[in-house]
Structure 1
Amino acid sequence: MSVQVLSNVNVSFDNTEKAFKYKTDAELKEANFLFASMGYQWLVNIGSRLTPWALKVGLPIKGLIKKTVFKQFVGGETLEETIPVVKKLAEFGVGCILDYGVEGGNDGEIGFDHAADEFIKVINFAASQSSIPYMSIKVTGFARFGLLEKIDGTMAKESGSLIVKYNNTLLKLSAEEREEWARVESRMDKICTAAANKKIGVLVDAEETWIQDSVDALTCLAMDKYNKEVCIVFNTIQLYRHDRLAFLKLMHEAATERHFILGAKIVRGAYMEKERERASEQNYPSPIQPTKEATDVDYNAALTFCIEHIKNIDVIVASHNEYSNKLAIQLLNEKEIPLNHPHISFSQLYGMSDNITFNLAAAGAKVTKYLPFGPLDDVIPYLMRRAQENSSVSGQTGRELLLIKKEIKRRGI
């Protein structure tokens, strides 16, 4: 079946009928109540502190959590529980990125092997559903943090390209550490082989700066192996770091030289406070951009670079920023690149920015929701982050509430 070419497309993110068509009146009212509640900073602060404690001591609050923030932001506790959400999104042309926050660190090597197996289970499940093109992994799920940190620190002292520094660093590890790292490489290869066989994209999450170089090297080597014809492996580029735009360009040079497709999921970032605190405590320059505006400038520059080199960069525009999404559409139009070009897709978190997601989907773009799933206790940290980032009335909550209320008024409910 031929693919319709979609060019010179204009998309409005103000159309609430398209944005919330997938929600019933009752679900829309529930979302309105939840986002209104998250507008109270004091309430979110208290909830963020008390919820983990209440769960730990066994207070009966799981039912309340599952009916509110869990329902809004998480697909379910198991893969099977995500199916209704996946199918509902698919009805409106929206795919999913499955994310299981599996942690293998508590049980050592056995736990790491289990984590890799769990990621492969997610890949197999994704392949059984027609609207799940991607899944995400965290290298810290199947590799010891301390080893990643040692490799990263040693790489920082080396000169040359990322891979040259990586190879030189491995020579300086102890025999035991090299054996341990070989098991990490084997787990990564098993995951990517399964994904390639099933044609499911693997999005490698970004990590803290003090282990990111080791993650980047592992991911770059996987891209070199698996991205020769189609893009299977994607690295996550956090543009709130002031060095990532330059890094993206270096990776593109490597991809061009080595003849592989660069997979790039571009995001603004997720570890800002932790990064700044550590830099201050250890007295080294902060890796974080000096201002929000600087982050925006680099994000949009990265987006522009990816579209300019769309022939051998497969980019996922992972953003809740309306301007950046509109810029992507504008650039595609200017360069006469179809909106549904196979090397560009868009993504937002499940439960947020539906006005962007569903209006893009209605225009024919390839768009996904990042859909976390897992046992309630395991996803609490994720839920607390969503509540915290939505607690500023001048920020996300204000925008979400405005759109929800607009749709409630339009429906007359």
Structure 2
Amino acid sequence: MLKLILTYLSQAGWARSIVQGWGFAKRTAARFVAGETLDEAIAVVKDLNSRGIFTTLDHLGENVTSREEAILAADEIITIIVRLVNEGVPSGISIKLSQIGLVLDPEICRQNLLKIMESAKERNIFVRIDMEDSSLTQATLDLFDLVRENGYEAYTGIVIQASLFRSQDDIKELMSGLCRVRICKGAYKEPRTVAFPKKISVDENFDRITELLLDQSLEIESSVTPDGGFSPIPAIATHDQTRVDHTLSYADKIGLGKRGVEFQMLYGIREDIQENLIGQGYPVRVYVPYGSEWYPYFVRRLAERPANLWFFISNFFR
């Protein structure tokens, strides 16, 4: 019930206007968000890189309401790409298509996405296209296909959510194109008509998809690039120790080298697992979000783990 309430609040405009005005909320969000400016975010990325952690940067924002906002968001993403190259920071970037106009006007989104991908290709930067809620799944996959058809397949990857019924079929289709895939559980509240209602079913689907991706990585000898700029085919995004253990066990069983799989986690969450994996020699990439539109992302993090919520409440009394 608590997760349902928080998921609703993450999308509620009235709640956003209230919470973003609370100083303690901003302080707490700083645990999960690397500042409001690109300068702050790049400083965090450099610190993570110095500790052997790869990164993907994301300028927070989603569901723009005007053409101007969509174009500004795309321009900010291109600014990130340029800054990463100018400062010699080997980071990828992550983008949400609703931030560059997908819900507003798919044609605007298409134009913005191709503009972003051209900038990324010119500068050899990897772009991960994030997956949003199930109402946008097919449109996101269609635009991912468009990007690949336009010659950007080496510079992009996609995200698939284990919570959705359709995901195994989507994975098999993506595997036929040797696509780089991040598998995650999914942070959105979805209707029972499209998603598994029980956690155990999501976990089982996650493990099955993970095995498919690891098998392909072994078959084609996929590997993270030496500087960490580009991921291998399988990116396993989870903070669940059981899912991590299953991935490690299966990789060992099939003889997959450590650089043939990458673990991905969110900034500020389960740093103990991150350090353990790095100590074992596995690549770890941290998703580093920044920007003034931190509220929806922050509340989704509270919904995911009770410990995060208690951390938020404790800051109220400081």
* Category of TM-score, reference length = shorter chain: 0.7 to 0.9
Deviation at 1:346, TM superposition (A): 1.2
- In 2: Cα distance, 1:225 partner to 1:315 partner: 23
The amino acid that maps onto 1:73 is: F
Structure 2 counterpart of 1:346: 263
- In 2: Cα distance, 1:227 partner to 1:300 partner: 29
Give the match's secondary structure for 1:289.
Answer: coil
Give the match's secondary structure for 1:216.
Answer: helix
Give the match's secondary structure for 2:54.
Answer: strand
Give the match's secondary structure for 1:340.
Answer: helix
- In 2: Cα distance, 1:203 partner to 1:356 partner: 23
Q: Is the 8 A contact 1:97 1:132 kept in 2?
A: no
- In 2: Cα distance, 1:226 partner to 1:239 partner: 28
Give the match's secondary structure for 1:371.
Answer: strand
Give the match's secondary structure for 1:316.
Answer: strand
Q: Is the 8 A contact 2:32 2:268 kept in 1?
A: yes
Change (3 A) 1:315 1:226: farther
Structure 1 counterpart of 2:196: 289
Q: Is the 8 A contact 1:104 1:114 kept in 2?
A: no
Deviation at 1:185, TM superposition (A): 2.2
Structure 1: 4+ residue segments shifted above 3 A: 47-56, 128-132, 224-228
Alignment of 1:89-100 (within 5 A): 89-100=48-59
- In 2: Cα distance, 1:227 partner to 1:142 partner: 18
Structure 2 counterpart of 1:122: 80
Structure 2 counterpart of 1:142: 100
Give the match's secondary structure for 2:252.
Answer: helix
Q: Which of 86, 92, 110 is the equivalent residue of 2:45?
A: 86
Deviation at 1:198, TM superposition (A): 2.0
- In 1: Cα distance, 2:34 partner to 2:164 partner: 30
Deviation at 1:129, TM superposition (A): 5.0
Q: Which of 288, 309, 313 is the equivalent residue of 2:216?
A: 309
The amino acid that maps onto 1:314 is: I
Give the match's secondary structure for 2:81.
Answer: helix
- Greater C-alpha radius of gyration: 1
Q: List alignment gaps of at least 5 residues for structure 1.
A: 1-39, 149-180, 256-260, 277-284, 401-413
Give the match's secondary structure for 1:105.
Answer: coil
Per-residue Cα deviation, 1:108-127 (whole angstroms, up to 9, x for no partner)? 22222211111111222233
The amino acid that maps onto 2:279 is: A
Q: List alignment gaps of at least 5 residues for structure 2.
A: 223-231, 312-318
Q: Percent of aligned positions with the same letter in both sequences?
A: 23
Note the aligned Cα RMSD (angstroms).
Answer: 2.9
Give the match's secondary structure for 2:131.
Answer: coil
Q: Is the 8 A contact 1:95 1:368 kept in 2?
A: yes
Alignment of 1:350-365 (within 5 A): 350-365=267-282
The amino acid that maps onto 1:303 is: T
Structure 2 counterpart of 1:408: none
The amino acid that maps onto 1:292 is: K
- In 1: Cα distance, 2:288 partner to 2:44 partner: 9
Deviation at 1:330, TM superposition (A): 2.3
Structure 2 residue 209 is the aligned partner of structure 1 residue 250: no
Deviation at 1:128, TM superposition (A): 4.0
Change (3 A) 1:251 1:55: closer
Change (3 A) 1:128 1:320: farther
The TM-score with structure 1 as length reference comes to 0.64
Structure 2 counterpart of 1:234: 157
Q: Is the 8 A contact 1:223 1:262 kept in 2?
A: no
Per-residue Cα deviation, 1:20-47 (whole angstroms, up to 9, x for no partner)? xxxxxxxxxxxxxxxxxxxx99xx99x9
The amino acid that maps onto 1:110 is: E
Deviation at 1:362, TM superposition (A): 2.1
Aligned length: 293
- In 2: Cα distance, 1:227 partner to 1:291 partner: 37
Deviation at 1:355, TM superposition (A): 1.5
Q: Is the 8 A contact 2:187 2:304 kept in 1?
A: no
Per-residue Cα deviation, 1:307-339 (whole angstroms, up to 9, x for no partner)? 111127712111111122222222322332220
Q: Which of 383, 388, 401 is the equivalent residue of 2:298?
A: 383
